[in-house]
Amino acid sequence: MMEISVIVPLFNEADNIPANFQKMIAALSLTGQAFEIIAVDDGSTDESADRIKRLAAEDARVRYVGYARNAGRGKAIRTGIKAARGRYILTIDCDLSYSEEYLTVMYQLLRDNPPVDFVIGSPYLHDGGTENVPFLRLLISKLGNIILSSAMRGRVKTSTGILRGYKGDMVRSLDLESDGKEIHLEILSKALASGFVPIEFPAVLRSRRQGRSKFKFKTTAFSHLVFSFFERPALLFGLFGLMLIGAGILIGMYIIYLWQMQTLNPNRPLMTLMVLLFVSGLQVILFGFLGTQIVNLRKEIYKIQRNQFRLQETIRTPETVLPEKGIVTERPETIAR
């Protein structure tokens, strides 16, 4: 079985492909293990596909997987996971905004720590950091990860980064659906809910040197806020409900003040408004409690899916895994899973 599979999702990265893939090959060669680099072309419109195919023809350790229409990073990573044959599956950006040296770091962390199921590179840990990242993008990233970390009860500091390593059986057992960048949040949420163990390690995030960034603030921010809401509904419902109750308390105090000053006008609907705010606040908080129970039920389903996958892996015989319709791979092979 292949030891290491590296998934590199890319879209219009022709300028970065030749040099950066050679850097990744050089770094992985230091492990002394069999490896493959799966370049997943997410419907590029430049020369990316041709350059990857040339590399694949020259070096059997590079594999091309692609499809015609741009669908998003999530689709690319899911496609790469299906094509991967490695015992360990690593993901990294084609522009090497995280150094290729972290590939060996992730492999060693997974190999040398049996209880750990996946690792995450974080620029927000001590000894991590950033280099030449635009201030606005860095600020958005930090704020977003603080919110997401709170939604996940502080179990990880960096929820959105691509620099990750997984045990192959672990990530294959997850039923992934996302097509966009929220794929990282989906993997993290389902992995934690299933009882898998993560560790973070410090990493340095650098600004890309060539090519154009694919970051889209509105789309990314919206998807991350929605994820936070679904991951911990009590966070939103509870806060909003407390605000309503707080407003009701303030109005109640104002009513008492007017009563003491003997200026209370019984024709004003202050009492009705106070009661409505109290009742609405309690209802919103109860909605948050109900949402939390649904989230807990969903997590139990993930655990059942994990156990079902393990059972299937135990009893089934090696089978041929075919690519999805519309996906082309340079080397279709029989994958023992």
Q: What string of pLDDT tens digits covers the 337 residues of the chain?
A: 789 999 999 999 999 999 999 999 999 999 999 999 999 999 999 999 999 999 999 999 999 999 989 999 999 999 999 999 999 999 999 999 999 999 999 999 999 999 999 999 999 888 888 888 877 777 777 777 777 777 676 678 888 889 999 999 999 999 898 888 889 988 998 898 888 999 999 999 988 666 566 555 566 666 666 776 677 777 778 888 889 999 989 988 988 888 888 887 777 788 888 889 989 988 888 888 887 777 777 777 777 777 777 777 677 655 444 445 455 555 444 333 3
Residue with tokens 């770091």: 105
Instruction: Give the bridge partners for 318, in sequence order.
Output: none
Q: What is the pLDDT of residue 89?
A: 97
In contact, 30 and 108? CB cutoff 8 Å: no
Q: What is the pLDDT of residue 155?
A: 74
CATH code given to domain 4-230: 3.90.550.10
Beta-carbon-side half-sphere exposure of residue 136 (alpha carbons within 13 Å): 3
Q: What is the pLDDT of residue 164?
A: 96
To the nearest 10 degrees (0 to 180), the angle between helices 233-260 and 217-231 is: 80
DSSP H helices, 116-182, are: 135-151, 168-172
User: Residue 158: in which H helix or E strand, if any?
Assistant: none
DSSP class of residue 321? P
Q: What is the pLDDT of residue 320?
A: 43
d(CA 229, CA 235): 7
Q: What is the pLDDT of residue 328?
A: 59
Q: What is the pLDDT of residue 337?
A: 34
Q: What is the pLDDT of residue 221?
A: 65
Burial of 69 (0-12, 13-18, 19+ CB in 10 A): exposed
Three-state DSSP state, 194? coil
Which tokens go with 319?
């089978």
Q: What is the pLDDT of residue 178?
A: 87
In contact, 109 and 116? CB cutoff 8 Å: yes
Tell me the one-letter amino acid at 246. Answer: G
d(CA 259, CA 239): 30
Residue ranges per structural domain of the chain: 4-230, 233-315
Three-state DSSP state, 91? strand
Which tokens go with 123?
């620029």
